[in-house]
Amino acid sequence: MFLKTVAAFVFATVTTLLLLFVMISAISNPQPAAQSGIKGKVLDFVRVIEEPPVVIKTPTPVKPPNVPEPPKSTPKIDPFDGDHDWRIDVEEPDIGDPDLMLARLDGDYLPIIRVDPEYPPRAISRGTEGYVLMEFTVTPTGRVVNPVVLSAEPVGVFERAAEAAVLKFRYKPRVVNGAPQTVPGVRTVFSFEMQGKG
């Protein structure tokens, strides 16, 4: 039994060495394919995609609609002669008496924009109420200039808010004989009252 095992081992070792030797000899001395006696053909495959044929169609001419031809003869125009009167008579509109028309444009100043003053936050927190009497001048453009506090109750609480508001007023100016006028001494009262009180 032991001898069989040794013999098998020696046989396997020799066979492996022989195969190894054959492989080394094949690798170390390669032969080109031309010398090896093997003949063959190399085939190149090129796929050709057939494109559909291009068809060019010529458009059929379209007949234009029947358009009437312009007249060949031009109308006759009589040459200018000196017998014609080319003036145009226009009647003046009747506006009546010019003084009455001017009187319709005249008028006294009218308020166009009035802005309410902002209630001072300190007065709101204390529940303070009061008023401010202001006097100012309306300019010919309808703006307010030179605001003056004539009286206020309580003093020192609402004056700034009233002055800021009155400077935003806009008026239609007074017009006399068609000319806008300056109007001094215009007065207004701002009342500051808490809503829902009482």
Total domain count, the chain: 1
- pTM, rounded to two decimals: 0.47
Summarize pLDDT for 80-121 with one digit per residue, the tens: 555 555 554 555 555 555 544 444 467 888 999 998 999 999
Domain-located, residue 141:
yes
178, 157 contact by CB (below 8 A): no
Query: What gap in Å lies between CA 69 and CA 74, rounded to an integer?
Result: 13
| CA dist list (Å): 130 to 127, 147, 167, 189, 197 | 10, 19, 20, 11, 13
Burial of 31 (0-12, 13-18, 19+ CB in 10 A): exposed
- What CATH number should be reported for the domain holding residue 138? 3.30.2420.10
65 in any annotated domain:
no
Q: Is residue 124 part of a domain?
A: yes
Q: If you average pLDDT over residues 77-82, what whole number do you get? A: 55
Question: Is 37 contained in some domain?
Answer: no
**67 is a domain residue:** no
Q: Which residues pair with 181 in a beta bridge?
A: 174
Q: Is residue 23 part of a domain?
A: no
Residue 19 has pLDDT above 50, yes or no: yes
- For the record, the structure tokens of 26 come out as 């094949």
Note down the domain range covering 180: 114-192
Q: What is the pLDDT of residues 163-191, one digit of tens each?
A: 999 999 999 999 998 899 999 999 999 99
Domain assignment present for residue 153? The answer is yes
Query: What is the spatial distance between Cα 52 and Cα 37, in angstroms, rounded to a whole number?
Result: 47
Please give the Cα distance from 176 to 181 (Å, whole number). Answer: 7
- Domain membership of residue 100 (yes or no) is no
